Structure 1
Amino acid sequence: MEATRGDSTELQTDRPHPARVYDYWLGGKDNFAADREQGDRMLKINPFISDSVRANRAFLRRVVGRLVQETGIRQFLDIGSGLPTQDNVHLVAQRIAPETRVVYVDNDPIVLAHGRALLQGASQGRTEVVQGDLRDPDGILGDPQVRGALDFDRPMAVLINAVLHFVGDDEDPAGIVARYRDAVVPGSHMLIAHASWDLHPPESVEAAKREMQNVPFTTRFRSHEEILALFEGLELLDPGLVQICGWHPDGPIPVEHRTTNLFGGLGRVP
C-alpha cells in the first residue's frame, strides 16, 4: 500500500507520526512528507539513527526467536508495533512454530490498513492487528479482538519495543508497564527497549535535546537506571539491561549496530 492512500484527515498526514518516521528510517514507503522532513531533521543531529532502528529490528528478531524456541511461548502481544516490515513478529514466530498467535497494537490508522497483509501468517496460527494506545492498558487488555486471539490463562510475551520514550513522566510509564505485567500469568515475558541519552554520541547530546523540544510528539529519553526501574516486579533475564546489539548476538556485532542508543532487556513474570 502506498502512503498516499487513505483519509488524510484521519491519518493526520500533515504532522509526523513516530511509526511513520521509524518506517522512513528503515527505508519503508509508508510515510509522508512531514514524516520524512522530521526524520531528516533528526538524522542531521544523529546520523546513526537508521543504523539504530535496524539494530532494533535485529534485537526483536532474536528475542522472539528465543522465546519461541527456548521457552515455548506461543502468544505475543506487540504494543506500539509500528508499521510492518521485514522479520515482523508473526513471521519470525510462525516460521518456528506455525501455531503461534500474534496481536499487534498501534494507534496509527496506517498500521490498521496493513491488517490484511499481516493476516497472511501461517494458517495454523493467528495474526490480528488492533487499534489501541500503549497508555490505555485497560482498553487494550479488554479489547474483544485481543481477548479473542490470546488466552490470558496461558503464558504470553508482551513486547513494548522502542515506544516508552514517547510516554512522558506525567503519564506514569512504570504504572503502564505494571498494568500489563499484572494482567498476564506467571511464566509470561516482557520485552522493553528504550532510547537513552546514556548511549547517545556525547558530542551531540545537547543539540539533540534541543531538537527534541521541537518534535511534535513526546520524546523522553531515560537513563539506564530509569529504564531498569521499569522492570520492577519482573525477573530480568541474562544478560540484563544492555545495549540492544549486545543482547545475545547471533555472531560478531556489526559495527553500525554499535551506534544504537537503545537499551533493551527481557523480563520474566514470576
Structure 2
Amino acid sequence: MNSLTSAVEWSRRFLAEVLTPGDFAIDATAGNGHDTLFLAQRVLPGGDLWAFDIQEAAIDATARRLTEAGFEDRFEVDEPLSAQKAASKTVGLTVFEKTVSPEQASPPENAAATVPERPIRLIHSDHSQMGSLLHGYTKKPKVAVFNLGYLPGGDHALVTRAESTVSALDALAAALAEGGRLVVVVYVGHAGAEAEVAAVDTWWRQLPPQRWDTVSVQFPNRTGRPPYVLVAEKKGVQRRVPTT
C-alpha cells in the first residue's frame, strides 16, 4: 500500500505538519507503539508525550519499541487511576467504574510534583480517563491521534468503544492548543465497529465551524471497507479590536 492509499500515512502527514520539538502530543491508542514512536521523534527534546492503552500487551509492546529506538531512559509506565479500578472485568480487561470529568476532578495539591521527570508517559488506562489527567495539567496538547478498533496481532474481540472514544475526544477538544489537531484513523470492518463509527462521525459533524476546520480522507475506489481519516484543527479565538 502506497502513501496515497494508506490511512496511517495520511494521519501522520497531518500530525507532522503542526508538530515541533517542545510540543505536547497524545497517542490515545498506543497499540504496538508505532504512532507513539513517531510522535516521540517529533516532540523530543523538550516536549511531552502521553500514550494510553488499556491492554498491558500494548503498553509492553510500546515500551519495547521505544527502547529499541533509543528512548529507554525517556519513558515511564504509569497507572495513575489504579485506585478507581472496578472489581469487575469485561472480556478480560480491567474496566473503570466511573469516568471523572474535567469539571468533577480536582487538581492535585502540588501539581508540579506530579509531573514526571521522564517526558514520555505510557499510561495503562482507558483513554476515557484522559479528562481527569488533563485537568490541572498546565501544558496544552498540540496533537492527539487515535487508531480505532483492535490491537493488531491481539484479540480482535477487544476493541475501542464509542462511549470511551467520545469521552476522550470531548476532553481533548476542550484542552487542545489553538492550531492543534485531532486525528482519528477510523476502522470500519471489525465486529462492533458500527456504533463507534456512527458516534465519531456524528461528533465530527457537530464541531462548530467557527472554532474548528475539519477534513475527511477517504478512498472511494478501494474494495472492501477501508479505514478513513478524520482531522479537526482548532481555530484561534478572534478577538474584536475596540474602535476609537
TM norm structure 2: 0.54
The answer on 1:221 being equivalent to 2:197 is: yes
CA-to-partner distance for each residue in 1:144-183, whole Å, 9 max, x for gaps? Answer: xxx8xxx633452222333598323xx3754542222223
Q: Does 1:68 align with 2:19?
A: yes
Q: Name the CA distance, whole Å, in 1 between partners of 2:164 and 2:132.
A: 16
- Residue 178 in 1 paired to residue 170 in 2? yes
- Cα separation, partners in 2 of 1:111 and 1:100, compared to 1, 3 Å: same
- Where does residue 102 of structure 1 map in the other structure? 49
**CA 1:258 to 1:131, structure 2 compared with 1: closer, same or farther past 3 Å?**
same
Secondary structure at the counterpart of residue 135 of structure 1: helix
Letter in 1 for 2:123: V
In the alignment, structure 1 residue 136 sits paired with structure 2 residue 129: yes
Q: Which sections of structure 2, spanning at least 5 residues, go unmatched? A: 75-117, 151-158, 237-244
Deviation at 1:258?
Answer: 10
What is the one-letter code of the residue matched to 1:105?
Answer: F
Quick check: 1:80–1:163 contact (8 Å CA) kept in 2?
Answer: no
Task: Give the aligned residue type for 1:130.
Answer: I
Q: Is the 8 A contact 1:181 1:269 kept in 2?
A: no
State the partner residue of 2:105.
none
Name the structure 2 match of 1:118: 66
8 Å CA contact retained: 1:51, 1:260: no
Q: Pick one of 227, 243, 246 that aligns with 2:217.
A: 243
* Structure with greater proportional strand content: 2
8 Å contact 2:26–2:143 — kept in the other structure? yes
What CA distance in whole angstroms lies between the structure 1 residues aligned with 2:10 and 2:224? Answer: 12
Whether the 8 Å CA contact 1:75–1:157 is kept in 2: the answer is yes
Cα deviation digits, residues 113-169 of structure 1 (max 9, x gap): 132542533989933311111223345436xxxx8xxx633452222333598323x
Separation in structure 2 between the aligned mates of residue 172 and residue 106 of structure 1, nearest angstrom: 12
- Given the superposition, is the C-alpha separation of residues 89 and 137 from structure 1 closer, same or farther in structure 2, using an over 3 Å criterion? closer
- Paired-residue identity, %: 10
1:137 touches 1:179 (CA, 8 Å); kept in 2? yes
Is 1:260 paired with 2:223?
Answer: no
* Contiguous gaps of at least 5 residues in structure 1: 1-49, 197-207, 247-254
Distance in 2, matches of 1:163 and 1:152, equals 31
Q: Using a 3 Å threshold, how does the CA distance of structure 1 residues 107 and 138 change in structure 2: closer, same or farther?
A: same
Distance verdict in 2 for CA 1:64–1:224, change over 3 Å: closer
* Structure 1 residues 162 and 225, CA gap change in structure 2 (3 angstroms): closer
Residue of structure 2 in register with 1:166 after alignment: 160
RMSD in angstroms over aligned alpha carbons?
4.4
The answer as to whether partners of 1:107 and 1:133 remain within 8 angstroms in 2 is: yes
Q: Does the CA-based 8 Å contact 2:25-2:39 persist in structure 1?
A: no
TM-score, with normalisation over the residues of structure 1? 0.50
Cα pair 1:231 1:267 within 8 Å, conserved: no
Higher percent of residues as helix: 1
String of CA shifts for 1:46-76, please: whole Å, max 9, x gaps. xxxx999x8232123212221225xx77221
Distance 1:225 1:141, change over 3 A: closer
| Contact 2:7/2:227, CA 8 A, preserved across alignment | no
2:7 aligned partner:
56
How many residue pairs are counted as aligned between the two chains? 181
**Residue 186 and residue 91 in structure 1: after superposition, are their counterparts in 2 closer, same or farther (change >3 A)?**
closer
**Separation in 2, partners of 1:100, 1:245:** 34
